[in-house]
Every structure is written in structure tokens, then in C-alpha cells.
Chain A
Amino acid sequence: KNEVEQSPQNLTAQEGEFITINCSYSVGISALHWLQQHPGGGIVSLFMLSSGKKKHGRLIATINIQEKHSSLHITASHPRDSAVYICAVGNPSGSRLTFGEGTQLTVNP
């Protein structure tokens, strides 16, 4: 079993739909990161959170430390949101990130 698991692996949505991507982890963490990777490889850090909830534009990230679970929500999805979304956790000593396998999101117009 991977230390970080994401679901779903693939997600197809229609423009305007509300999207949720889930991340569960089995180890202690210092913080959890949500990353976005567009075709071509570039990775952008969306959120880093260790508790509660953060919002940036149409993106919302939540984390439940007790349940070892985080969700990334996209409201009013748009085709430009099509990308791979990756969950990563930092270990408590702060020495490295461990990554989930990613969720491929496709938003159709």
C-alpha cells in the first residue's frame, strides 16, 4: 500500500461542474501539498496546508489531520483546469516529500 493514495485516478467533467479530488495518507506529516502539472511537465504548487482549509480563486483545499485525509475542490470548472493534480506529504522531519500517483482531470467544454 502506498503511503499517499489519490482518488480518482482519472476524472472527466463538463465545464461548470464542481470537482473533488481526494488524498489519503498513512504516515505522520508536517504538511500536505497540492500540485498541478500541465502537459509538458511544468509543476505548480497550489496549496500547502497543515490544518483546516485554504481557498484561492475557484480552488479550495481542506485537510482533516485526524482522518489523514485531504480534498481538493474546484468550483465552476473550466477546460483550462485540465491537468494532473498531485497530492504530496512532507515527513515530520521536514526532509522530503512523498507523492501520490496523481489524478488526471479533463474538463470538456
Chain B
Amino acid sequence: KAGVTQTPRYLIKTRGQQVTLSCSPISGHRSVSWYQQTPGQGLQFLFEYFSETQRNKGNFPGRFSGRQFSNSRSEMNVSTLELGDSALYLCASSLADPTDTQYFGPGTRLTVL
């Protein structure tokens, strides 16, 4: 079974731009969660989608948004990028519940200049 894939793997943007990251979950997994990882804050929960609906959202500003498609693929978008948005963005999929065993993608490393 193919694992979780994320594209792109690396991205360099400048302040004020917007970015879209993509995540394809394991086949059959309907829950997709997104996380931000930075050296100072560690792993932080962004949001979780299930059956095209956002079920939960972490404590991030509205510049961070996402969506899920009918095939469970998910995208996240960050608008008006700030330097502090530089981070590793990870998505993870699970069968139905984000507190089940999660399978992580390799991440997208975003650098904002």
C-alpha cells in the first residue's frame, strides 16, 4: 500500500506571497490532519479533515486554511506569508480518527524569505 505523499517537498517563498501544499493519504484513510513543526514550538496541530469537512482546527490565524476533496486528498493554503511561517508542514492520515494510529507524510519544508 502506498504511503502518504506530500508535494512539493521543498518550497521557497517571499513574504506576502501565498502557498498551497498538497497531501495524498493512504488509500482508504478518510481522516487527514495537518501539523506545523518548528524548532521553537515543536509539532503543533493545524486542522483535521474528514469526508471533506473540517472537524477540528488548531490555534492558528485565519491565513491558514485547508480543504479536502472527495478522494480524501487534502490541500492547505497559507496566505500573506510571514517569516515565522517557515517550518516543516506535515500531514498525516488515519482511518477515521486523528487519535488513531497516524501515518505521516515526508513533509513540505517551507522557507519564507
> A residues within 8 Å of B by Cβ?
30-31, 33, 35, 40-45, 48, 86, 88, 90-91, 94-102
Contact = CB atoms under 8 A, between A and B. Distances in A.
B66 interface: no
Contacts of B100: 48
B99 A41 contact: no
Contacts of B92: 43
A98 B42 CA distance: 10
Interface of A is mostly: strand
A48 B101 contact: yes
Interface of B is mostly: strand
Contacts of A97: 33, 45, 98-99, 102
B48 A95 contact: yes
Contacts of B43: 86, 88, 99
Interface stretch (B17-25, B76-84, B104-112): B104-112
B103 interface: yes
B26 interface: no
A44 B104 contact: yes
Contacts of B63: none
B88 interface: yes
Going nearest first, the 10 A-B pairs with the smallest beta carbon separation are: A90-B99, A43-B104, A99-B43, A41-B107, A95-B56, A94-B99, A94-B97, A101-B42, A96-B45, A48-B101
A6 to B, nearest CB: 10
A64 to B, nearest CB: 19
8 contacts: A41-B109, A86-B43, A90-B99, A95-B99, A96-B58, A97-B33, A97-B45, A101-B42
